[in-house]
Structure 1
Amino acid sequence: MTDVQDRATLSLPPLLFANMACTMAVVSFVSLAAPIARLLGLQPWQAGFAVTLGGILWMLLARLWGAMADRHGRRHTLLLGAGGVTLAYWSMCAVIILSLKLLPAALWAFLGIVITRGAVGAFYSAIPTAAQALIADHYSPDERAASLAALGAAGAVGMVAGPALAGLLAQSSLTLPLYVTALLPAVGFVTLWFSLPRHERPRRRVEASLSLVDPRLRRPMAVCLIVVTAIGAAQMTVGFFALDRLGLEPVAAARAASLALTLTGIAMILAQLLVRRLAWTAQQLIRAGGMVSAVGFTGAALSTTVPVLAISFFVSALGMGWLFPAFATLATNAVEPHEQGGAAGSIGVMQGLGIVIGPLAGTLLHGVGATVTYWVLAVLLAGTALWPVGQRSVSPLAD
């Protein structure tokens, strides 16, 4: 089967929709965690742990899902991931709904939510990992940046729309968002079942899996870790910045943080959609994205009003929206076809690690000074943009 025929068998919109639907369900819990925890008598750290666990399991299992995608196929892995998310999410919703009705001991409610929420994160990590490998199979190196940007934009839409939908529905009842969002991963699974290619190109089997420290992946993995850590740190500290730096009252600070984060989501979506029109190489996206993000975080560190803070977050998110498809493209173009799942899994490890350490690092730096987090992020992202590329640092196809 030729490359053109291979590409013709993959319809990208259903894959994007399924990714968005599953992401919406997974992240919608974030906006419900605090009120649910309060009603069940859980401590804030317990709610935080339930949310963070998904990132930890994403990090630990991404390479296993990538290896499975290489050995057993993209369709098999994507369906297993989406099906697992559906069943695990239904289990989590059942635990929460029953706990709200029966009000068991806080420990039992905590254990039930942690186990089921952890299972959601464990299965979800298969979806972006296998989807990235699938796109690498069906698109040439020159086309991958645009396609991976579309995948990233779909995920960004899910990350913005999920909590927004849950928050809107929660105004009527805390259980209503659970019933509605439980439909999303099921719809995603059905979409994948009917749309994914049933016949995949043969991949050469190898005994040794792709090493996590493979020199071809050092740059994309480092860029991925920096970007995801920056996002987590910025999201975690913006509310504290509004309190401590801008001197706002708690309610006003919450509104300022909501505005900044809403603009962040919009900017990341717009930036990744623009990649399809810009036709830049991965290296150009890193140069431009890193510098734009650095300018945005510099503005955030210097901001003294809510509008300036919100605009600065918008600018920084534009840059990071260009960095997302860049590191994914570098990774897919640096390895052989039979290693695509392993490369996607390695990137998934860095994403999970960034999700875990970003909020922690951000709050620790904020404890040193209200502006320190944003200055550090500006320096890191500027350094990423200016990072010299040696002859052996990436594959010749990576640019």
Structure 2
Amino acid sequence: MGARPGGAGVTETAPSDQPPIGAKVALVLGLALMAMGQTVLFALLGPVSRELGLTEIMVGGIISLAAVTVVLGSPWWGRRVDRWGRRPVFLMATCGLGVTTFLFALTLQAGLAGLWTGVTAFALLALARMIYGFAVTGAQPAAAAWMADNTTAEERTGGMALIGAAFGLGAILGPTLAWLMSGLPLLAPLYLIAGLALCATLLAWLTLPETVPVEAAMAQHLSPTDPRLRGTLLIVLTAFIVVASIQQSVAFYVQDTAGLDAAGTAARVGQAMAVLALLMFLTQGGIAALKPDPRRLIPLGAAIGCAGCVVLALWPSHVGVLLAHALFGLGFGAIIPGLQGRASLAVGPQEQGATGGLVAAGMAAGYAIGPVFGTALYTVLPVLPYLVGAGLMAGVVVATLPAILRRRGDDIGSGTVDGPSGP
């Protein structure tokens, strides 16, 4: 693989070179495990929380507090990616995934054994999840920056879609794992993911090369109000508020509308999330191959996501929930790489890590707001999270549709998308 000297004693891989296949495998495996841990938790935490005496708002609070640490930590980790390099930050994130997932599973195990319930369980679970949130935050900006180093401008959206496909693969495997291990202790999937994450760390250490750009020493502090990025970041925040509010409330929605017990709810929600993840994976795999204009993916994905929200609100049956999640998979499978590609193309090579950190912070901010937002709406009216989600997604379509009607898209926050490779 061709390389040229980089800053701080490292090298930069030329985008035209093909990185070792083992490096991509390590990257995909690490990111997939991140998604597996998240989707398993969404399937388990709702029903398990009622065994621990937690309210819906408390469950939303656990996820939201963890997301706050990601919001605060992502820009910091993004700058570390540009200064320390992609490889060390990614290794720390995968190792952190293993250690903190094990810690969270132990905390849940103790609660189910009766050592703590109610407010005490909430406080300890929130603390464990906040430690997790900070530990794994560097993975997203490190992976995005590594991909930007190894792709040309024309390949960028496809490269970002590969990252999304890795998350999609993990999101498929997570609920599937929970289903296949349903005959084992309830928390067994979390312990397995913790062990696999440590194995993924070893694989990345052996195979993932460093690719810090020459300009890394000149990396600047990047603000979320930067006119090149602020419109994209606003859409990221909106989309992930909708995603998180749906994911956190849907277990309660399924349990209450279908009258299922905890195990039945976990199984049905696991099926729905598996459908979502499969369609997201297939969508992003297609995007990785076709490398479309990222501007066109955003309104298309938002429109499909809006349709999914409407279906979920109006058709709460088993078939309706599965159909809605299929639409979510198609819609968010398109919008996420579109947003990542748009952000990456708006900045220079020395800002890729910082940009990835801001995008990750926007996603995490959505997860900080979304669970409390969704569960609060749910307590008012069970269908309200999905009706509001449909309205927000429709707003994204209206805000971004002009980008597919003209040759050069404008950023909704500034009027232009600047940068060396702006769309």
CA apart distance, 1:187: 1.4
TM-score (norm 1): 0.86
SS of 2:128's equivalent in the other structure is helix
SS of 2:223's equivalent in the other structure is coil
SS of 2:221's equivalent in the other structure is coil
CA contact (8 A) 1:70 1:341 kept: yes
Alignment deviations for residues 154-202 of structure 1 (CA, whole Å, 9 cap, x no partner): 1122234224424543522245434422211101111211121146442
Residue 264 of structure 1 is matched in structure 2 by: 276
CA contact (8 A) 1:31 1:167 kept: no
Provide structure 2 residue ranges, at least 5 long, that are not aligned to the other structure.
5-12, 403-408
Quick one: distance in 1 between partners of 2:150 and 2:270? 38
Residue 325 of structure 1 is matched in structure 2 by: 337
Quick one: distance in 2 between partners of 1:274 and 1:20? 18
CA apart distance, 1:124: 1.0
Quick one: distance in 2 between partners of 1:46 and 1:367? 13
Residue 54 of structure 2 is matched in structure 1 by: 43
Change (3 A) 1:209 1:315: same
Alignment deviations for residues 290-327 of structure 1 (CA, whole Å, 9 cap, x no partner): 22222333343443754244323312331111001000
Residue 314 of structure 1 is matched in structure 2 by: 326
Residue 390 of structure 1 is matched in structure 2 by: 410
CA apart distance, 1:204: 4.0
CA apart distance, 1:358: 1.6
CA contact (8 A) 1:25 1:185 kept: no
Residue 406 of structure 2 is matched in structure 1 by: none
Quick one: distance in 1 between partners of 2:254 and 2:311? 14
Letter in 2 for 1:14: A
CA contact (8 A) 2:172 2:275 kept: no
Alignment deviations for residues 333-392 of structure 1 (CA, whole Å, 9 cap, x no partner): 111111111111111111111112222223344455454433332332233223244374
Change (3 A) 1:163 1:51: farther
Residue 69 of structure 1 is matched in structure 2 by: 81
SS of 1:203's equivalent in the other structure is helix
Change (3 A) 1:230 1:109: closer
SS of 2:334's equivalent in the other structure is helix
Letter in 2 for 1:28: V
CA apart distance, 1:285: 0.8
Alignment deviations for residues 33-74 of structure 1 (CA, whole Å, 9 cap, x no partner): 4676567x5534655544443322111101110010011111
Quick one: distance in 2 between partners of 1:128 and 1:356? 17
Of 5, 14, 30, the residue aligned with 1:3 is 14
Q: Superposition pairs for residues 113-124 of structure 1, below 5 Å?
A: 113-124=125-136
Quick one: distance in 2 between partners of 1:305 and 1:97? 32
Quick one: distance in 2 between partners of 1:177 and 1:208? 41
Of 314, 337, 350, the residue aligned with 2:362 is 350
Of 386, 391, 397, the residue aligned with 1:374 is 386
Residue 134 of structure 1 is matched in structure 2 by: 146
Change (3 A) 1:95 1:269: same
Change (3 A) 1:398 1:12: farther
Change (3 A) 1:296 1:188: same
Of 259, 271, 275, the residue aligned with 1:249 is 259
Quick one: distance in 1 between partners of 2:301 and 2:284? 11
SS of 1:182's equivalent in the other structure is helix
Change (3 A) 1:207 1:237: closer
Quick one: distance in 1 between partners of 2:31 and 2:235? 22
Change (3 A) 1:94 1:369: closer
Q: Does 1:290 align with 2:302?
A: yes
CA contact (8 A) 2:15 2:152 kept: no
The structure in which a higher percent of residues are helix is 1
Of 34, 51, 64, the residue aligned with 1:22 is 34
Residue 9 of structure 2 is matched in structure 1 by: none
Change (3 A) 1:109 1:229: closer
CA apart distance, 1:80: 1.8
Q: Superposition pairs for residues 205-220 of structure 1, below 5 Å?
A: 205-206=217-218, 208-220=220-232
Change (3 A) 1:204 1:287: same
Change (3 A) 1:48 1:170: farther
Change (3 A) 1:201 1:113: same
Quick one: distance in 2 between partners of 1:166 and 1:86? 17
Residue 339 of structure 1 is matched in structure 2 by: 351
Change (3 A) 1:148 1:52: same
Residue 180 of structure 1 is matched in structure 2 by: 192
Residue 192 of structure 1 is matched in structure 2 by: 204
Quick one: distance in 1 between partners of 2:116 and 2:318? 42
CA contact (8 A) 1:78 1:131 kept: yes
SS of 2:101's equivalent in the other structure is helix
Quick one: distance in 1 between partners of 2:144 and 2:211? 18
Quick one: distance in 2 between partners of 1:390 and 1:221? 14
Alignment deviations for residues 124-154 of structure 1 (CA, whole Å, 9 cap, x no partner): 1111121111111111121111121121121
CA contact (8 A) 2:83 2:216 kept: no
Number of equivalenced pairs: 395
Alignment deviations for residues 84-141 of structure 1 (CA, whole Å, 9 cap, x no partner): 223333444455556767x545577665544333222211111112111111111112
Provide structure 1 residue ranges, at least 5 long, that are not aligned to the other structure.
none
